[in-house]
Structure 1
């Protein structure tokens, strides 16, 4: 193996190499760190964010500016319209294609984001399920818009009671995927994860986890971040989505924290102060869930992200110790 890139040849998987993952709670500085590393190392950046895949969800997902995306291209950013579903299986399939292309170019894939289920699916595997059928998804979506997702959950209950028992009646994305699997295969949705992920395939994965140990400091960052989004035009962004896509509130794309609360504000259900307070509370809860997930995920190398300069230095020293070579 070349320790500079992690490249080696295997008879089973072809040419494979190392992968770097940067995860952490929201507002922990993941993206800023990834850009610093991209300036120094030959990396292929891949977004692990269930909101950033959607075109038009920019401010509320903290997506990089168009100028920065030209300078630092990210895979899996702006790959879907708001009405197109994007599942964990889609993520794994498309991320692996990017990873393999990066290895061929002698680059190290760096995955960065806060959608931890996507990380888990890629590293640990998902069930061997059929790929997406966009025409079928469209038919399911149109039926949901007509009847509502609870009605489709009732249909799932009749087709696949075990899957229905695992899925909330309002979880539109999972209901849609379960019905799609039922209709494509004629079989129930498997409960287990049988397909191997990167770790089971022997890929060297460096898992970096960023945390801000002082909760009050993290909460201050979350507040500044959301206030900056409001100042940058988040309300106008959601208003434009409403105008373009109509009744998109129930779509998976609109689950991102902040968008739901602004939507309710524009619908007259919340006052502006209530919207802000609700979004901040939801973001703090998200950060807590993210950290809990990471603490229960083996293999993480933890870094204190309180000081961006210090965490950058710590990560650079760690990568140097693993044999990472800088750009020529």
Structure 2
């Protein structure tokens, strides 16, 4: 990476699901001649298009996007891999003097890109193996309850279905005798790796929730169920981390007869609203955020141009 005296400048467009990040980012990118680097933990997966709300082919033709469709659904992907890939893309664009927009709602990826990841403590492989076996045999809910006892702070920050991160927090806590959250706190996340202008998109809660409900309806009308059926037919099992994500697990439950269609739609809308609330809570804790009404793309462009000047 360039020296501190010549830092790479990036613009980050973030916020909860449903705020309109993609549309705003494309408008901004066109205005400044930028390229978009996705910061979405699900859009990295091929074949998972509708449920992850990927930019359309037309949008990806209008503005170049990176870190979309880079993994198969049965491949593991984490923040460390994301940072390595994003760094490579950003440094290449910097050399070519192309402005960079980092766009997405995965707060952990954005934080890791800005501040780096803490050095992971050594994990006992027997503990790791035992936890994975327990998750398969007894279910994730029991492990999540254990994490709530061992490390309430980490548990509060994670969704009960986030298998990969629940296991990670548990294996660190059990291997070291210290809560996983204490390592994060120790890191501090204060030394920035890039000179970043971070814009958070904001909508009133009621308006955001209405947009989320409409978007779920649109996804289902546009073939989300058929997308999940196709993934299962391709051999991607329901137990994969990617298939346990928001929306995909709901439709798998419907396909397997565990929920009616009405219950599936209602639960998916509810869980998406809850996810948006958690995202907003995360981003409100981030430093140096510039919150702008999601309708005011003109204001975003003005802020970005001033930052890059």
TM-score, normalised via structure 1 length: 0.76
Give the one of 233, 251, 254 matched to 2:243.
254
The aligned counterpart of 1:5 is none
Query: Aligned partners of 2:45 and 2:290: how far apart in 1?
Result: 30
1:299 to 1:196, Cα distance in 2 relative to 1, 3 A: same
Give the one of 13, 23, 32 matched to 2:14.
23
1:103-114 equivalences in 2 (<5 Å): 103-114=94-105
The aligned counterpart of 1:229 is 219
1:97 to 1:15, Cα distance in 2 relative to 1, 3 A: farther
Alignment of 1:65 with 2:56, yes or no, is yes
CA contact (8 A) 1:21 1:208 kept: yes
1:190-209 equivalences in 2 (<5 Å): 192-193=183-184, 200-201=191-192, 203-209=194-200
Query: Aligned partners of 1:227 and 1:240: how far apart in 2?
Result: 19
Alignment of 1:322 with 2:307, yes or no, is yes
SS in 2 for 1:49: coil
Query: Aligned partners of 1:52 and 1:144: how far apart in 2?
Result: 29
CA drift at 1:149: 6.4
SS in 1 for 2:183: coil
Give the one of 274, 297, 301 matched to 2:290.
301
SS in 2 for 1:208: strand
CA drift at 1:195: 7.2
The aligned counterpart of 1:86 is 77
Alignment of 1:126 with 2:111, yes or no, is no
CA drift at 1:187: 8.2
CA drift at 1:319: 2.1
Number of residues of Structure 1 aligned to a counterpart in Structure 2 = 293
Unpaired runs of 5+ residues, structure 1, are 1-7, 131-138
1:322 to 1:90, Cα distance in 2 relative to 1, 3 A: same
Alignment of 1:115 with 2:106, yes or no, is yes
CA contact (8 A) 1:15 1:103 kept: no
Alignment deviations for residues 277-300 of structure 1 (CA, whole Å, 9 cap, x no partner): 101001111111111112111200
The aligned counterpart of 2:35 is 44
Query: Aligned partners of 1:322 and 1:72: how far apart in 2?
Result: 21
Query: Aligned partners of 1:9 and 1:166: how far apart in 2?
Result: 34
CA drift at 1:255: 3.6
Query: Aligned partners of 1:228 and 1:300: how far apart in 2?
Result: 31
Query: Aligned partners of 2:105 and 2:161: how far apart in 1?
Result: 23
The aligned counterpart of 1:313 is 298
Alignment deviations for residues 196-218 of structure 1 (CA, whole Å, 9 cap, x no partner): 97x624631000000102x2211
Query: Aligned partners of 2:193 and 2:171: how far apart in 1?
Result: 31
1:103 to 1:236, Cα distance in 2 relative to 1, 3 A: same
Unpaired runs of 5+ residues, structure 2, are 122-128
The aligned counterpart of 1:243 is 233
Alignment deviations for residues 41-72 of structure 1 (CA, whole Å, 9 cap, x no partner): 13221111111011111001111223432332
Give the one of 66, 70, 74 matched to 1:75.
66
Alignment of 1:271 with 2:256, yes or no, is no
The aligned counterpart of 1:55 is 46
What is the root-mean-square deviation in Å for CA atoms of aligned residues?
A: 3.5
Structure with a larger share of its residues in helix: 2
CA contact (8 A) 2:161 2:244 kept: no
The aligned counterpart of 1:134 is none
Query: Aligned partners of 2:44 and 2:19: how far apart in 1?
Result: 20
CA drift at 1:188: 8.7
1:187 to 1:322, Cα distance in 2 relative to 1, 3 A: same
1:9 to 1:176, Cα distance in 2 relative to 1, 3 A: closer
